[in-house]
Copies of this chain bind each other. A is one copy, B any other.
């Protein structure tokens, strides 16, 4: 027996009474409008903390007669996983009409920090409450996030984090752990030899994190395996194919390939073309048509996955919390690292 939520929730009126100010002043503080002395603002904040005031997001949206506007800035191009994410946004956009959520999806040129920065700079707080981005860790992007944040547009990073930026929250898997898991599996698959590592771009934080985790476990637990690379495919199938082909040709002792980026269609093509491929253990990321085909054919042994629908769902939860305004840390459910073999394809 565990009764919860019996007491009436505190409202702005309660805050006003507790702080000994008028409703108008509470409202000014809440929506940080000008015309409040710092002393008074502090009184109000203290009262809010004291009585545990929690602003009612839906009443707020109802009152201002508009939806919560979330803009997704995702890379376009050949990256199938980004396509899945976009699909998840669109699916979600259908059903979110009833929840006062207005989603907009923009696809940008991939691996183009300046383009992303420009897109971010174009988001005015009047049009967009929260931007959800996946981008690389470059000074131009970091600066644009900083500017958006100052302007009043909350930024949430998706898939690839920008840890030392003004972003409010990160939604994605624990990438170092994913790299470690890959290494742990690879080590069990093949006791010795060389393991080629292909990344998309080392400017992407998720790729760097996976690489670090992979390298650490390989070095610590599997001294028989030697890491080759990392090579950069720029997440392009053609480049991934070329790199994998070269790895297979140049290294007779190649025991495994870990593609921690995208471009898996190219990887699968390279493996299909080589007769040595069956002897090489392959681990890749993200369940997409290409990796499914790879698992089916036996070209790929394991796929580590992050569920796009989960990520979009949690990103929206984060956006809602950001819109609540307070500086309280955003909390979301962690995204799980899915492990798929040929037998448990969903």
Q: Which residues of A contact B (CB under 8 A)?
A: 1-6, 9, 54-59, 61-62, 67, 90, 93, 95-107, 181, 184-185, 188, 307, 309-310, 313, 324, 331, 333, 336-339, 343-344, 346
Contacts and interface: CB of A to CB of B under 8 A. Distances in A.
A346 B304 CA distance: 14
B58 A100 contact: yes
A331 B96 CA distance: 12
A97 B336 contact: no
Contact of A188 (B104, B185, B343): B343
A106 to B, nearest CB: 6
Contacts of A185: 343
* Interface SS, A side: mixed
Contact of A307 (B97, B313, B324, B336): B336
A100 B333 CA distance: 19
Nearest to A104: B3
A59 B57 contact: no
Contacts of A337: 344, 346
Given A90-B2, A93-B5, A343-B184, A313 B333 contact: yes
Contacts of A3: 104
B98 A5 contact: no
Q: Which 5 A-B pairs have the closest CB atoms?
A: A58-B58, A5-B102, A4-B93, A2-B105, A54-B98
Contact of A104 (B2, B55, B90, B106): B2
30 contacts: A1-B105, A4-B90, A4-B102, A5-B67, A5-B93, A5-B97, A5-B103, A6-B102, A9-B97, A54-B98, A55-B98, A56-B62, A56-B98, A57-B98, A57-B99, A58-B100, A62-B62, A184-B343, A184-B344, A188-B343, A307-B336, A309-B333, A310-B333, A313-B333, A336-B336, A336-B338, A336-B346, A337-B344, A337-B346, A339-B344
Given A181-B343, A339-B344, A344-B337, A54 B97 contact: yes
Contacts of A4: 90, 93, 102-105
A10 to B, nearest CB: 10
A104 B313 CA distance: 24
A344 B181 contact: yes
Contacts of A181: 343-344
A313 B317 CA distance: 12
A98 to B, nearest CB: 5
Contacts of A336: 307, 336, 338, 346
Contacts of A309: 333
A331 B93 contact: no
Given A4-B90, A313-B333, A336-B338, 14 more contacts: A1-B105, A4-B93, A4-B102, A4-B103, A5-B96, A5-B101, A54-B98, A58-B59, A58-B62, A62-B62, A98-B324, A309-B333, A310-B333, A337-B346
